[in-house]
Amino acid sequence: MSALLAKPLLWLAVTLVVFEAADHLSKRSQRHPLCHPVLLSTPILIGLLLMTGTPYATYADATALLSFLLGPAVVGLAVPIWRQRALIRRLALPIVLALSAGAVTAVVSAVGILALFGAPQEILASIAPRATTTPVAMSVAEQLGGVPALAAMIALFSGIVGGMTATPLFNAMRITDYRARGFAVGVSAHGFGAARAFQVNSTAGGFASLGMALNALATASLLSILALLT
C-alpha cells in the first residue's frame, strides 16, 4: 500500500474521482457559486492526505500532469481574444479605459486593504492578481514571490463574490447596458463572472469572457511593470 501511495496513478485517480463527484453535486445545485467543484473537492483531498499521512510534495508530484496543463490552457486564451477582434476594434476606447481602470482598482484595493491587516509581502503578492483567472493568478503570484495555493483560493473567492453580487449590484446601480455589466463582471470575477453573465444574457456573457481574457493580460503586465519599478 505504501508503495502505491507514492505513485502518480493513485493520486491522479483519486483526484479525478473526487472531482467528478464534486462536479456532479455542482451540477445538481445548478452550478451555484458556493458549490463549485474545486471548493467541494479541495477539503476532501486535504482530508485524504492528512488521513494517509501523505506529504503535500508527494501529492503535488503525483498530480503534476494536471498542473502542467494550466500552461497551454492559459496560452489558449489567445483564441477568444482573437475571435473578438472586430468587437475590440469597434469599442476600443471603452474597452481599454474600463479595462485599465478595473485592473488598477483590483490590484490597489485588494493589496491596500490587506496591508491594513499587516499582512507580509508574500501574502500581499498572493492577493495582487486576484481578479485574473485562477491559473494566471497562481503563476503571476509565484513570479512575485507569493503563494500559488493562496492565490488560487483568493481567485476562487473573488469569483464566488462576483458571481453572487453582480446582478443585484448592477440592478441597484441602474446599469442597463449588458455590454458594460458583462465586461465589468468578467474583469473583476474572471470565469465565474463569465459563467454567471452567460446565465443572464448572451451579450453580457460574451463581454464577460472578453473582460476575463483581457484582464489576465492587463493585470499580469501591470504587476510585472510594478515589480520591475520596485
Partner 1 sequence: MLDAIALLLVCQLAGEFIRQLTGLPLPGSIIGMVLLIGWLAAVQRERPTLAAVSGWLTAHLSIMFVPAAVGLIDEGEALSRYGAGLAIATAASTILTMVVTVLVFRWALRRFAAETDAAE
Q: Count CB-CB contacts under 10 A for residue 121.
A: 11
- C-beta of 206 vs 216, nearer to partner 1: 216
How far apart, in whole angstroms, are the C-alpha atoms of residue 83 and residue 121? 38
The nearest distance, CB 17 to partner 1, in angstroms, is: 11
Contact of 218 with 103, CB cutoff 8 Å: yes
Which residue in 6, 89, 124, 94 sits closest to 55, CA to CA? 6
Backbone Cα Rg of the chain? 19
User: Binding of partner 1 at residue 228 (CB under 8 A)?
Assistant: yes
Q: Check binding of 88 to partner 1 (CB under 8 A).
A: no
Cα–Cα distance for residue pair 197/182, rounded to 1 Å? 6
CA distance 169 to 88: 26
Least CB distance from residue 116 to partner 1, whole Å?
Answer: 7
Interface residues for partner 1 in 91-120 (CB under 8 A)?
Answer: 91, 93-95, 97-99, 101-102, 105-106, 109-111, 113-114, 116-119
Site for partner 1 in 112-171 (CB under 8 A): 113-114, 116-119, 123, 127, 130-131, 133-136, 138-140, 142-144, 147-150, 152-154, 156-158, 161-162, 165-166, 169-170
Is 84 a binding residue for partner 1 by CB under 8 A? The answer is no
